[in-house]
């Protein structure tokens, strides 16, 4: 499953969320991550995320598609992080 995850989280907790997301997905912009995840891994991520957030204030939105190829991506301006697997 290919995933785009965005979050809007209070400053007090946002650092934790960033660290958690970095383990599972690639950072592409402030509060935006994308990457390939299995369904189980996504569940795992969300379970851990729920422990961090305050559901009455914070929100996480996930866009998912079956495969990366069903997703068109355009970058205007600076690409902050490219997702190559070669360094």
Please report, in range form, the residues annotated as the binding site for Mg(2+). 8
Instruction: Please select the residue that binds other proteins; options are 22, 43, 50, 73, rule is CB under 8 A.
Output: 22
d(CA 43, CA 24): 11
Q: How far is CA 26 from CA 5, 56, 81, 83, in A?
A: 10, 27, 8, 7
- Does 7 bind other proteins (CB under 8 A)? Our answer is no
Count, residues in the chain = 87
Determine if 87 is a binding residue for other proteins (CB under 8 A). Answer: yes
State the binding site: 8
What residues line the site for other proteins (CB under 8 A)? 19, 22-27, 35-38, 41, 81, 85-87
């Amino acid at each position: 499953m290919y995933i785009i995850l965005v979050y809007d989280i209070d400053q007090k907790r946002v650092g934790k969320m960033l660290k958690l997301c970095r383990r599972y997905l690639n950072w592409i912009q402030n509060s935006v991550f994308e990457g390939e995840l299995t369904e189980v891994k996504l569940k795992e991520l969300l379970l851990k995320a729920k422990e961090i957030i305050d559901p009455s204030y914070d929100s996480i939105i996930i866009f998912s598609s079956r495969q990366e190829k069903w997703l068109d991506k355009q970058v205007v301006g600076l690409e902050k992080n490219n997702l190559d697997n070669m360094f």
